[in-house]
Amino acid sequence: MSVVAAPGAEYHISDPVQDRRAFRSALGQYGTGVAVITTLNGGLPVGMTVNSFAAVSLDPPLILWSVQNTSGRAPAFVGAQHFAVNVLSADQVDVSRIVASPQGGTGAFEQIEWTEGLAGVPLIEGAIARFECRTYDVLPGGDHQILVGHVERCAVAEGEPLLFVQGGYAASAPFPSSGPGSEATTEETSPESEPAPFAQLVTAVNHRLSREFDEHRSRFGLSAGSSRVLKRLSTGPQTVDELVSSAFLGPQAIEDALSELIEENLVEVTGSGFRQTPQGRTLRRQVAENARRFNEAALSGIPEADVEAAHRVLTALARSDQPIRFHHTKENA
């Protein structure tokens, strides 16, 4: 791996044949949604969690996704006449995990809500989009096969999508110029100097702090995934399965992060899983200390009493589990 200094960005360049982890990490830079593909296999429901879904054609309406040749579930999908694509909502991390687990193929359908669609193919409740497809083509794609589906019926429901970004689950954030608060600006009457609505401010501040913090984190030479895994191991050793549930990362990302951390001597294998080395503990403390300083620096120059009050307001909003209710001026007809 070589590093090329360029204006504004340093690139880590790799040969994807020699360094698969670098290739996966590059692929992970392209954010995706998360879809569960479903079909029937000998009359039983079977599913697969994927992030290789893509739109292909409007006329005819075609979509595609890819399945690994060596996957035990591949024959069920490659041989199927019909399948469905269920685009998961931000509430469905659990569905993604249950279907992705080794036992998830058919057993998953006892744990998730679903109904029967065209040709009896299972449709997952709560998905924000569903595409019921007839298999249109199966194309060669190296160690995967590319399944092209002809969409016979599609459905949309309201909701935010679940995303998979840089190896971890994420939600989407509207750009600071949009978002909940911005709706409240009545452009006709509000001069620029009028205070911005609260929700819009929160979105803008969140955007700024997240980006700046990422820059600081990267100085430790840890990827976001490795940093997250190292943090999770602060409370004691964990297995890969435990990390998958606690770190909001996929199994592949956890394994890549662990390999990186072990190589850098920050994590070691123990009988019951993985644990921080003394160096890992030291680095983790430094990251935490820098995060504390980051928060402090961000707020420096602002009167302490204001900061304390802001803390109280945000804590109240973050902890509340009451839906926000008010009288609507218009209901949907």
251-280 residues in contact with a copy of itself (CB under 8 A) are none
Torsion angles phi and psi, residue 21, rounded to 5: -65, -40
Contact present, 82 and 135 (Cβ < 8 Å):
yes
Task: Report CA torsion sign: 233, 266, 22, 165.
Answer: positive
* 30 binds a copy of itself, rule: CB under 8 A: yes
Q: How far apart, in Å, are the Cα atoms of 132 and each of 82, 83, 85? A: 8, 6, 7
Scan residues 155-184 and list those touching a copy of itself (CB under 8 A): 155-161, 163, 165-166, 168-184
Scan residues 68-87 and list those touching a copy of itself (CB under 8 A): 87
Among 101, 106, 217, 277, binds a copy of itself (CB under 8 A): 217
CA-CA distance, 72 to 74, in Å (whole number)? Answer: 6
Among 26, 74, 119, 262, binds a copy of itself (CB under 8 A): 26
Count how many Cα atoms sit within 13 Å of the Cα of residue 325 in the half-sphere of its side chain: 3
Q: How far apart, in Å, are the Cα atoms of 142 and each of 28, 66, 139, 330? A: 19, 10, 10, 54
Mode of pairing for the β-strands spanning 82-87 and 35-41: antiparallel
Which residue's CB is nearer to a copy of itself, number 213 or number 262? 213
CA-CA distance, 19 to 88, in Å (whole number)? Answer: 31
* 14 binds a copy of itself, rule: CB under 8 A: yes
* 111 binds a copy of itself, rule: CB under 8 A: no
Contact present, 250 and 168 (Cβ < 8 Å):
yes
Which residue's CB is nearer to a copy of itself, number 103 or number 316? 316
Scan residues 129-158 and list those touching a copy of itself (CB under 8 A): 129-131, 137, 139-144, 146, 148, 151-158
Which residue's CB is nearer to a copy of itself, number 18 or number 103? 18
Q: Which stretch binds a copy of itself (CB under 8 A): 39-47, 102-110, 253-261, 284-292?
A: 284-292
Q: Which stretch binds a copy of itself (CB under 8 A): 38-46, 94-102, 103-111, 215-223?
A: 215-223
Scan residues 223-252 and list those touching a copy of itself (CB under 8 A): 227-228, 231, 234-235, 247-248
